[in-house]
A and B are shown apart, each in its own frame.
Chain A
């Protein structure tokens, strides 16, 4: 409860919050893959403009978005310099054996852009869609696979329960860490090697606690009539509204415009 994970769902009421999760997930998928099909400058600008508008419509605070970007800072950092130094092309700067090319700069920037887009779009999705809605959406989108025999409903249930227990486990781990710290090991050591070794007395209690909770939860679920994820009805059904159809049309239109701009040069 004391942990605010970046990108976590916040129950405000924005235009995006009211959309069907399937629409949002489809749009997210489209706009994170579009940059690969449309790398040109004008298409890129259109994509960015659209994402900015969507971000504003989601009522997500800028600080939260910046924090989600912060989680991939090092990945982006290394990726940028990797592409910067290893892409062949027209020379920009040369420092001894190391060469930086124009293409390298462009490449690095493109990778950063795609990464940031992925993170931001993902963050807006999780910010405006509650865990249960996400599960609903995933289940609906994967339903065709169920016909192939994949246990989609069970997997989604496992996912939702696991997600719901994440804060619980954070608290538990914190408690166990403090208890072991009080018995003389420096759990919060700054030395990563020592910290890894000092965590050994943590693994067993954490696992034991996880198994105990799992058993207690399974018993409670059984007592409430659970007998498998099939044949269950749901309190809330997903229903597409006119707003969802409008949103889908807009998304498709922008997507086509992006492709169009790309084709035109």
Chain B
């Protein structure tokens, strides 16, 4: 049983990180958000639409996009613009509308100049941006990211994370991001920790990462800044709570 009774509400515009050891049910849960998986028991509503209702499934998938871990395995077409057009084409939109959406989406992720390039020639980070543009082209309210940076090098990671943050801040896109990186989770506004098919913690990152012992017991880590801050407090230094980044820690010390 991959999920053992999950109750969750995510509001429009939230930036949620979903963390947990392998096998805790993160990917399984995420795939319920767009109806790729349907509940054995219980229900999932997206904007009031039931995912298990076949009449609503395609609307659900229009509203909740998904970007996966492997950049290569998401690319369908042999040019960037055709790949981004895949979603709108599936929704049988008229060609002029598809054109507009493709150009808008590519513009938002900054790849408009690469329209006619073969996606296989792009870097890993750029490929993920193409996947993100493809998800944006259906004008979703939310995008679920399943470890989008796992297979990328540091520059690619930064490109993708900056884009995701910008989409949340500027376009009010609801973001649910599964990640194995505690640094990435620390950048979210809400962190869900899963273990054994349940959500065991649901709080802002400042609160979640205060519980170092508990996270370690669950098989997780702390962001380096948090770990250093903990150790400094153990040695008697007085530091404010909720320091997540090196910058914040440096400011607190000086």
Determine whether A and B are in direct contact in the complex, meaning some CB atoms lie less than 8 angstroms apart: yes
Contacts of B61 in A (CB 8 A): 222-225
Q: Give, as a whole number of angstroms, the nearest-CB distance from B104 to chain A.
A: 13
Binary interface encoding of chain B residues 58-96 relative to chain A, with 1 for a CB under 8 A from any of its CBs, else 0 = 100110011010101111111101100111111111110
Stretch touching chain B among A39-47, A195-203, A212-220: A212-220
Assembly CA distance A44 to B200 (angstroms): 79
In chain B, positions 111-149 with a C-beta closer than 8 Å to chain A are 116, 120-121, 131, 134-135, 138
Contacts of B82 in A (CB 8 A): 132, 235-236
Given A225-B91, A233-B98: A217 and B73 interface contact (C-beta under 8 Å):
yes
Assembly CA distance A234 to B73 (angstroms): 22
Whether B95 contacts A224 by the Cβ 8 Å rule is: no
Q: Give, as a whole number of angstroms, the nearest-CB distance from B90 to chain A.
A: 4
With an 8 Å Cβ cutoff, the count of chain A residues facing the other chain is 31
- By DSSP majority rule, is chain B's interface helix, strand, loop, or mixed? helix
Whether B76 contacts A161 by the Cβ 8 Å rule is: yes
Closest to A215 in B: B73
In this complex, the interface size class of chain B, counting residues with CB under 8 Å from chain A, is 35 or more
In chain A, positions 122-176 with a C-beta closer than 8 Å to chain B are 130-132, 160-161, 163-164, 167-168
Whether B79 contacts A132 by the Cβ 8 Å rule is: yes
Closest to B81 in A: A235
Assembly CA distance A5 to B78 (angstroms): 15
Assembly CA distance A113 to B96 (angstroms): 46
**Additional 11 contacts, C-beta under 8 A, given A224-B87, A231-B92, A232-B92:** A132-B78, A164-B75, A220-B131, A221-B76, A224-B65, A224-B90, A225-B138, A227-B58, A233-B93, A235-B98, A236-B82
User: Which residues of B line the A interface, CB within 8 A?
Assistant: 34, 36, 58, 61-62, 65-66, 68, 70, 72-79, 81-82, 85-95, 98-99, 102, 116, 120-121, 131, 134-135, 138
